[in-house]
Structure 1
Amino acid sequence: MSKKIRVLIFGTGFAGQGHAEAFRDMGAEVVGIVGRTANVVDQVAQDMNIPYAGTDWQQALTDCDPDVVSIATPGGAHVEAITQAIEHGCHVFCDKPLTESGESSKQLYELAKAKKVKTAFAASFRYMPDVIHAKRLVEAGKIGEPLEVECISHFNLERDIPFGWSHRKEHGGGRLNNNFTHKLSIVTSIVGEKILSIMGEVRDDLGKAPIVEGVHNFKKRRDFIPSDLNDPSLKWGESNVEWTYTVLAQLESDLASKPVSVLFKHGGLHPRFHEDHIVIYGSQGAIYIKGHYASGPLYLHDKTNGWQELALPEDIAANVPNAEGDTEKNWRYLIRELLNDIKGEKVGHYQTFKEGSQYQQLIDLIRKNDNWVDVSQLQ
């Protein structure tokens, strides 16, 4: 395939613009962009020099006839757009979550398989350089058999961030959709892709958020926090998703004789005391990566030297796409894999709608919150 792969973008906010830049940087041609508000999508298209702008997704598929579509809207708006794109014969790159429910995610996965289109699911922080380094160390036996993993993070998010999609389950909001997906992807990439069992507990510590007009870019929503939260004319929206979660999982690993235990603990609204981190414990050592999404540095522990910081191998560093932020770099990494796969080149494993469907079904199970055993009557 010598011609540039043609890409149509669905979404005009931070993710939509970021996807467009990422596809261009990876050698694709962005032929159009679609949004829900005409003046907004027209302005974004003009600013980014995208030739086609529209508000009708189905019409845009016909007019632009893309090879790939990039889905960059909140998860609640994914099902119809992705269905139409697959029916049109397009490959699909989709940000997390895949949809708002496990049932609809599974339907999209089955449709993509039936239509034989390629898909990519962007729970993409598995491409952080120190995650790739940790995977290499574990595979080399540097910590012996992997035994357990812990992922701890506290974000201390502002409680008065304006009400929007992130506050509603049906729109793809919640910390499981927008944090746990990345964490699970990171851990499975290091330890093993097969998830054996899972249980969890969730809690909504927020309750409500102020309704404010004009918020378009997700990254800039903090700029719209009302100055007077006691203003009697201020309207409030109700949250119906989790802002805190605790999840336990067991993963199968080719490097371990028993299932690997994993703890995911996240408090979206709670302050951190020590650093957020990811740790992989083994029978002969451990790997510690600083940061909620393993931004680094990485430390290796063994019986001889204790904790030692390890430099990132040069070949891993050289393979990191050039971009401003980690999110943008990881988008580029996954997009590069997808585009190379479409071209018929050999690529490694990358996450598709198979994982997107599986993750959403797992989130549905965790949200049931029905794993408790009543011991109140024990003597």
Structure 2
Amino acid sequence: MSRSASAGSNEVVRSLWMKCHGAATGMVEVRGMVIGTGWAGEGYATALRRSGVDVVALCGRSPEPARAVGARLGIDDVRLDWRAALDELEPDVVAITTPAGPHREMVEHAARRGAHVVCEKPLGRSGPEARRMLDAVEGAGVRHAYGGTSRYTPGLVKARDLVIEDAIGELREIEVVVHMNLPPLLPYCWVHSLEAGGGMLMNGMPHGLVQAEYVSGGKAVWAIGHTDVVVDRVPVGPPVHDFRLWTPIDPDEAAHGPWRENDADMTATAVIGIELPGGRMITALFHLAAFTATRHVGYLAVHGTKGSIQLDDAPWFSRMSYRSAASDQWTEVPFTAEENPIQSGWDHLIKDFAADINGHRTGSYPTFTDGWRANELMDQVRASRPTAAHQPA
């Protein structure tokens, strides 16, 4: 049967396979394909394998980097045409790990082929585009997961437990502040193009948003804010295939080399309204800056009537502190940090996603609905038009 058959037929086939071949373990043999060969592509491929998915192919856009990643991961089938690979291999699961520019086309094609889809954040470049992607997977009847992986970091899980235990009382507000202190002469790449899915807002706020919602138990419902490109032009250097290798250009080379226009925001500030269970509203402040540094590291803080919790080293967190409203002293709260929290985030998401595909869902995980809502909120931030206050004559 073709994978482009109806979703109902897919579920029947999957159910029969489980009955005949997976009775002992309740697990179905699942074949996966990864589109994108950067850091996230490697991370999702590793996570899929750790969850028992057979990664049958890896798809990239540049031959040498793609094949190098394939060799490092032991994936022999490395393709440069993701459409042809989808049509030929008919995988059960597709992980889309590219920048946001081609996400919609990839999601729609994978859904038409009957594949379950996990897509890295941001889901789309706008709310309407993300909505089309959500409609595509829902219409096809396939499972869908969204790369809000930082909600799994142990520090955040511990903070949520403290909130549930009423350690800080009734919630009042949340802050997420990140200063990345990036060198200004980083070479041009998709991060500098809104059309490609770049910018601090689209790539930083999804982390803070999924974390703020998780720790509060609420849902973000409105947003206002401001973004700024900061730099109009950036130097051109070697292509960037993996952000772990994104290094600045020598100042002399930059001075005499080509430059390209940057239209993506390098700072973003937003205030988000979060509706808590029961209907009460709180606000969350997000500030994301690419080039600036502060005395203190990036953090997420949760404030309540009885005290505050602060998590340092956002968005993955290495330290947590608690302050009672009745004291000026901060007390460190121990938790077990993971050695590689970024990979662990991918691992946790895919573990939950794969279990759901196999009919053994153990809890909630971020889906395209969350990705679509994030895009809608980011659209609201971009649509904000601050005006100068009238000054007395």
Tell me if both proteins adopt one fold, taking TM over 0.5 as the criterion: yes
Q: CA separation in 2, counterparts of 1:228 and 1:220?
A: 20
Matched, 1:215 2:240: yes
After the TM superposition, list the runs of 4 or more consecutive aligned residues in structure 1 that deviate by more than 6 angstroms.
none
Moved more, 163-172 or 191-200: 191-200
Match of 1:65 among 84, 90, 95: 90
Q: Secondary structure at the match of 2:76?
A: coil
Matched, 1:198 2:223: yes
- Tell me the CA shift for residue 325 of structure 1: 2.4
Moved more, 55-64 or 299-308: 299-308
Matched, 1:101 2:126: yes
What are structure 1's unaligned runs of at least 5 residues? Answer: none
Partner of 1:351: 366
Identity of aligned residues (%): 29
Matched, 1:297 2:348: no
TM-score, scaled relative to structure 1: 0.91
- Tell me the CA shift for residue 97 of structure 1: 1.1
- Tell me the CA shift for residue 360 of structure 1: 1.2
Equivalence map 1:263-342=2 (5 Å) = 263-303=285-325, 306-312=329-335, 317=336, 325-342=340-357
Q: CA separation in 1, counterparts of 2:379 and 2:321?
A: 35
Q: Secondary structure at the match of 1:7?
A: strand
Matched, 1:376 2:351: no
Q: CA separation in 1, counterparts of 2:367 and 2:178?
A: 26
What are structure 2's unaligned runs of at least 5 residues? Answer: 1-17, 19-26
Q: CA separation in 2, counterparts of 1:212 and 1:296?
A: 33
Partner of 1:89: 114
Q: CA separation in 2, counterparts of 1:38 and 1:63?
A: 19
Q: Secondary structure at the match of 2:230?
A: coil
Q: CA separation in 2, counterparts of 1:100 and 1:303?
A: 41
Query: Structure 1, residues 137-192: CA drift from partner, whole Å, max 9, x if none?
Result: 11111111101111122111111111000000000100011111101111000113
- Tell me the CA shift for residue 362 of structure 1: 1.5
TM-score, scaled relative to structure 2: 0.88
- Tell me the CA shift for residue 229 of structure 1: 4.0
Q: CA separation in 2, counterparts of 1:346 and 1:21?
A: 21
- Tell me the CA shift for residue 278 of structure 1: 1.2
Sort the Cα spacing of 1:153 and 1:230 in 2 relative to 1 into closer, same or farther, 3 A: closer
Q: Secondary structure at the match of 2:102?
A: helix
Query: Structure 1, residues 209-250: CA drift from partner, whole Å, max 9, x if none?
Result: 11113432222011x523514543x11111101111111111
Q: CA separation in 2, counterparts of 1:152 and 1:107?
A: 31
Equivalence map 1:243-258=2 (5 Å) = 243-254=266-277, 258=280
Moved more, 44-53 or 190-199: 44-53
- Tell me the CA shift for residue 114 of structure 1: 1.2
Q: Secondary structure at the match of 2:205?
A: helix
Q: Secondary structure at the match of 1:295?
A: coil
| 2:235 and 2:254 in contact (8 A); partners too | no
Matched, 1:237 2:257: no
| 1:98 and 1:360 in contact (8 A); partners too | yes
Q: CA separation in 2, counterparts of 1:134 and 1:351?
A: 19
Q: CA separation in 2, counterparts of 1:117 and 1:230?
A: 47
Q: CA separation in 2, counterparts of 1:378 and 1:363?
A: 34
- Tell me the CA shift for residue 195 of structure 1: 1.4
Moved more, 332-341 or 205-214: 205-214
| 1:96 and 1:181 in contact (8 A); partners too | yes
Q: Match of 1:271, as an amino acid?
A: A
Sort the Cα spacing of 1:378 and 1:194 in 2 relative to 1 into closer, same or farther, 3 A: farther
Q: CA separation in 2, counterparts of 1:353 and 1:117?
A: 11
Q: CA separation in 2, counterparts of 1:124 and 1:378?
A: 49
Partner of 1:157: 182
| 2:112 and 2:140 in contact (8 A); partners too | yes
Partner of 2:6: none
Query: Structure 1, residues 287-334: CA drift from partner, whole Å, max 9, x if none?
Result: 11112215132122225664322222xxxx4xx8x7x52211101111
| 2:352 and 2:361 in contact (8 A); partners too | no
RMSD, aligned CA: 1.9
Q: CA separation in 2, counterparts of 1:114 and 1:168?
A: 31
Q: CA separation in 2, counterparts of 1:303 and 1:171?
A: 45
Match of 2:72 among 47, 56, 63: 47
Query: Structure 1, residues 322-376: CA drift from partner, whole Å, max 9, x if none?
Result: 7x52211101111111001111113222111111111112112212231x24422
